[in-house]
Amino acid sequence: MGSPVRVAIADDECLFRASLRQLLGVPPSIIQDVYGVDVGPGFDVVAEAGGGEETIAMVEKVHPDLLVLDLCLPRLSGLDVLRVVGSSDTMRTIVLAGNLSREDLVAAVHLGARGLLLKDVSTPTFFEAIVSVVAGQYWITQALMTLLVETVRPLLQAPDLLGTSLPTGKLTRRERQVLNLVIAGCSNKEIAQQCSVSEQTIKHHLTRMFDKVGAANRLELAMVATQHGLDTTIPC
């Protein structure tokens, strides 16, 4: 079954850290029953910190699998922490913030954050994001995905910035619809519900789309589509 994901929490609010610790301590079977999310062996909160310098020391000491990081930390900001610890194959980082400016959003992605969530995110989405990020994927909530695309769009003018031109003719009607929902920030589960198919079918669509456009993940797929101005308004 594997070992629980070792999680470290960095947030300057003691009560918020306690709430996250309690939430992550819920048994996997209950998370599955109540929220409908399979979190595997679950989570083990191994450390927590309330400041930037403390967070860096914590990461270097306990080497967690996942760092849940607030950007508003005293002494050193969350972005400063990311510049030092980043995100790697052995530790991935989710930014969980009360709000994110355009500049902080782009900087967090650039510095290696794998997940970007606002603190008002729903509990099921929070768990889905963790599962996806731990599996090596990117996760950005709908509002932040829209903001990121709007922010990066003007920067993606160079025709060769992300490789060769997008083979729009190779995308089926369903794949275009899926792409539209990816850009909107929808999860695989939400896309499956809107297109009246299984979640596994959506995963197959995404795998084929990654191959067709040369993208490694959902974020790159959205960026490539944005760069080339792909029309994704075709309905299912």
CA angle 65/135/142 to nearest 5° reads 105
Token digits of residue 137: 């994927």
171 and 132 within one domain: no
> Average pLDDT in the 53-78 region?
94
Q: Which helix (H) or strand (E) is 82 found in, with range?
A: helix 78-85
- Expressed as residue numbers, the domain containing 181 is 158-227
Site of tokens 């310098």: 53
CA distance 122 to 195: 22
- Top-confidence residue, 107 or 143: 107
Token digits of residue 185: 């920030």
User: In this predicted structure, what is the pLDDT of residue 10?
Assistant: 97
Domain membership flag for residue 232:
no
pLDDT in tens, 156-210: 444 443 344 455 457 788 888 888 887 766 778 888 888 899 888 988 888 888 8
196 and 135 within one domain: no
Q: Which of 69, 193, 190, 79 has its CA nearest to residue 141?
A: 190
Token digits of residue 225: 């589509």
CA distance 215 to 221: 5
**DSSP letter string, 131-196:** HHHHTT--EE-HHHHHHHHHHHGGG--STTTTSSPP-GGGS-HHHHHHHHHHHTT--HHHHHHHHT
Give the Cβ contact number of residue 66 at 10 Å.
24
pLDDT at 236 over 50: no
Task: Give the chain's end-to-end CA distance (angstroms, integer).
Answer: 38
Answer for the pair 233, 177: CB distance below 8 angstroms, yes or no.
Answer: no
Report the CATH number that the domain containing residue 169 is assigned in CATH. Answer: 1.10.10.10
74 and 28 within one domain: yes
Q: Quick one: pLDDT band at residue 86, thresholds 50, 70, 90?
A: confident
Which residues, 6 or more positions from 208, have their beta carbon under 8 angstroms from its beta carbon? Answer: 175
> Average pLDDT in the 73-90 region?
86
107 and 36 within one domain: yes
165 and 104 within one domain: no
User: In this predicted structure, what is the pLDDT of residue 163?
Assistant: 41
Report the CATH number that the domain containing residue 46 is assigned in CATH. Answer: 3.40.50.2300
Q: What is the dihedral of CA 38, 90, 204, 182, to 10 degrees?
A: 90
For the whole model, what pTM was predicted?
A: 0.70
104 and 69 within one domain: yes
Q: Quick one: pLDDT band at residue 235, thresholds 50, 70, 90?
A: very low
Token digits of residue 89: 């194959």
CA distance 189 to 200: 9
